[in-house]
A and B are shown apart, each in its own frame.
Chain A
Amino acid sequence: MQETISFTPQLGASTIAQLLWLVPAMPIVASGVIAVLKQPKRRTASALAIGSLAFSLLLALVAFGHVLAGWAHGAAVRDTWNFTWLQFGSTNVDLGWVLDPLSAVMLVMVTFVGLLIFIYSTGYMAHDQNYTRFFCFLSLFAGAMLGVVIANSILLFFMCWELVGLTSYLLIGFWYQKPSAAAAAKKAFLTTRVGDVFFLLGIVWLFGQTGTLLFYNNGAGSIEPHALLGLLLERSAFGLTAAGAIGLLIFAGAAGKSGQFPLHVWLPDAMEGPTPVSALIHAATMVAAGVYLIARVYPLMAAGALTGGTTTALTVVTWVGAFTAVFAALIAVAQNDIKRILAYSTVSQLGYMMAGLGMGGVAVGMFHLITHAFFKALLFMGAGSVIHGCYEEQDVRRMGGLKSAMPATFATYAIGMLALCGFPLLFSGFWSKDGILEAAEHFSVSKGPFYMLVFGALLTAFYMTRQVSYVFFGINRGSKNAHESPKSMTVPLAILAFFAIALGAIGTPAWPWFRAFIENRNVTFEGSGFNEPGLYALMATSTLVVFLGLGLGWWLYGNKSPQADEPDVLEAAAPLPWAWLRDRLYIDEFYGMTVIAFYGWWARVADWLDRRVWGGVVSAVAWAFGLWAHLNRFLDTNVVDGSFDKSCEELSTGGGLLSRMQSGRVQTYLRLLALAVVALAAILIWSSRS
């Protein structure tokens, strides 16, 4: 692989940018090859998948290095490589890919975490019959997700986005014989579809307004200043500009994929899929695609913001994110399935990311996304290890005491949990969450999101402590003794745990490298970064909140290990609110009553229409045809045949009549002759008179 790293500022494409398509292409090709492999060839399948993703990781690192080098030399790197795919008259359908800091970090994260999960899956799915199919779908997913990351054309983005949704469906419903899994897959697909409809509307509107599908195109792209100016001038409904309206439509799509309220209902059900799937798709990558989308079109969302202020679109994003964060955290408190707790935690953290984007900008939201990817994947994989070790048990009330039975899993899980809670200073989660809280504190519209997010942090610490106490502490309430997982599963856990700690270093105020990298600024390590006003107060607040949550959780649950049939401590204290939370605040039931019921009614109406009205029309036409056929037959038999027969008869009769002239008698003939002669003579004489 030859490439040249150039240091000149470019709007053109370097070689690495031109070859960027290889990054998603390798896993997709691997998926295609695995699809035609026979079932027993398991090692070939996993080798192909892991190999292709490793190759993509290598390329991603090279690309990242290229961008890093450019940044280090103070030259902006935003390489695009666009081409026209189709042409309709004067309209061009362009595709292309972009290499800039945002896509570079995302590429590295996706390939790296993906690779670790692929390796983990070889151990987790070792006993599964459909091992080959699993890696086929995983590879396809990886390729599609990477396509989303590098897409410079909103159409290519959407195509890969849909492909991601498809592979998510295939992977959630991997064990399709289970009705719950098939239903969960369908639910996921349909719910994200609702979001995608709005997304498509946004795409169409954007294309119609700006005339281009490309994000960046030497100043002519749809989110570059020239186009944005045009969008801001255009007014639409509710006092929004076109930019705002399009931004909201696109956010609707992102909300579907990233499980924001009210389209979050599919994410907890998606836990029906195998744990590697949950780790990869529903923690690290696919759900992050929504956040990535908002980050990608951030110029559009932020267009028109006055200094220090914000736009309507971003305000909406913030409020939805903040609300989702609290909402999901509340529900997570009352769940008993180990994966479901983590699923709601993911929804909550995605809300944090959206709020971070809305209030703090791309860097703030993306930093939390990156750190979250690592520790959430770690947590899911740890949960998978636990489930594997407890012989497919998933209820936390039937686990316990695994601290000593599965030490490696416990250690890594604890690191992940502390990172998620935001344990101060050591863990990356603290720094990324604090970045968001800081932005929330300075949010000009309202302080509401700040309080909500702080409350959410409290709840996060609380429910994670509850979960860890149930699972790892206390006595073993399971039926059998648990065993530690194989190396193929624990080694990726360790690697991820390392990054869960280490990534914090690039986001501290002392050395805000990540932010600088994304926003293309210079950065130096300086301790005085901590001297920002209010920063210490904020750090103290969040530390306090975290310890409060941890303490509360330990105090309530600690080493107590209640049995499965005993009510939870909080349940005993406040049964009704507990019931609401446990039943997920009845959102699914609400949808069932309204949307699904309506849909069922509509389907019945359509069926009635089809059978009675259209069917009736068809039957009527058929009946008319039958009638016509009968009429034709009647006509044919009676009129046509009849007339024919009649005419033959008449002919015969006429012949009979005429034959009477041939009487055989001479005198008759004589008479006729004489008559003829008379007539002729008369005519001749008469005509000669003149």
Chain B
Amino acid sequence: MSVVFYFVAGLSVAGALAAVLLKNTVHCALALTLAFAGLALLFLELDAQFAGFAQILIYIGAVAILVVFAILLTRGSETPKDGVFSRNPLVGLVTAAGIFAVLGWAVLHSTSVLPGPGGTPAAKPNVTVMDIGNALMGRYVLPLEIVALLLTAALIGAVIVAMHEKERAR
């Protein structure tokens, strides 16, 4: 486990924590962006360059901006009077802790499946964009088309949902 990994992982976790804990919503969005970036670096670390760049492009470039826009449009910059956390955050925390416990335990005890300690057992995959393009047009063309349809639907849906409604005649 290299230092880079620890650093980047720490960055991501820090960003995530900040995104969840900060009071100012805009700060949260920005921390989220940091978390996204950290994740993109982790993808790169994992030799998934396309995924990493896609992450940067879409998540940081689109989703984060969208979030910021939404915050601004809903006056999210104003700090609410009653506090940012709900009335009983305990349930959420316990549940999340429970999830982490279960997943962590599962991971740590699944030694038989995972490769043993030591170096990277698997060879570094040699993945080019052309391979990905071939896969998209070949094997995964159906999911591609469906996702395209989905994106179209989402686009139209989002527009309709966010549109100003006509004033109904009283």
Contact = CB atoms under 8 A, between A and B. Distances in A.
User: Which of A667, A671, A681 has the largest number of chain B CB atoms within 10 A?
Assistant: A671
Q: Secondary structure at chain B's binding surface: helix, strand, loop or mixed?
A: helix
Interface string B101-121: 011011000000000000000
Contacts of B92: 667, 671, 674
B91 A678 contact: no
A685 B95 contact: no
B91 A671 contact: yes
A445 interface: no
Nearest to B106: A685
B165 to A, nearest CB: 22
B106 A677 contact: no
A678 B99 contact: yes
B86 interface: yes
Contacts of A667: 86, 92
Contacts of B99: 674, 677-678, 681
A95 to B, nearest CB: 105
A675 interface: yes
Given A685-B102, A685-B106, A678 B86 contact: no
A675 B102 contact: no
A674 B91 CA distance: 10
B98 interface: yes
Contacts of A677: 99
A675 B106 contact: no
Given A671-B91, A671-B92, A678 B98 contact: yes
Interface residues of A, number: 9
Interface string A668-690: 00010011011001100100000
B102 A682 contact: yes
B161 to A, nearest CB: 16
Interface in A618-648: none
B86 A681 contact: no
Contacts of B96: 674
Nearest to A689: B109
Nearest to B94: A675
Interface residues of B, number: 11
B102 A681 contact: yes
Contacts of A678: 95, 98-99, 102
B97 to A, nearest CB: 9
Interface string B48-90: 0000000000000000000000000000000000000010000
Contacts of A675: 91, 95, 98
A671 B102 contact: no
B95 A671 contact: yes
A682 B95 CA distance: 12
A678 B102 CA distance: 8
A297 B97 CA distance: 121
Interface in A380-417: none
Contacts of B103: 681
Nearest to A665: B86
Nearest to B100: A678
A27 to B, nearest CB: 114
A675 B102 CA distance: 12
A682 B86 CA distance: 27
A310 to B, nearest CB: 124
B96 to A, nearest CB: 8
A674 B102 contact: no
Contacts of B91: 671, 675
A678 B91 CA distance: 12
User: Which of A667, A678, A685 has the largest number of chain B CB atoms within 10 A?
Assistant: A678
Contacts of A682: 98, 102
A671 B106 CA distance: 22
A671 B102 CA distance: 17
A647 to B, nearest CB: 31
A465 to B, nearest CB: 136
B131 to A, nearest CB: 35
A127 to B, nearest CB: 118
Contacts of B98: 675, 678, 682
A682 B103 CA distance: 9
A675 B96 CA distance: 9
B117 to A, nearest CB: 22
Nearest to B88: A671
11 contacts: A667-B92, A671-B91, A671-B92, A674-B92, A675-B98, A678-B98, A678-B99, A681-B99, A681-B102, A682-B98, A682-B102
Given A671-B91, A675-B98, 20 more contacts: A667-B92, A671-B92, A674-B92, A674-B95, A674-B96, A674-B99, A675-B91, A675-B95, A677-B99, A678-B95, A678-B98, A678-B99, A678-B102, A681-B99, A681-B102, A681-B103, A682-B98, A685-B102, A685-B105, A685-B106
Pick the 5 closest A-B CB pairs, nearest first: A678-B98, A674-B95, A671-B91, A681-B102, A675-B95
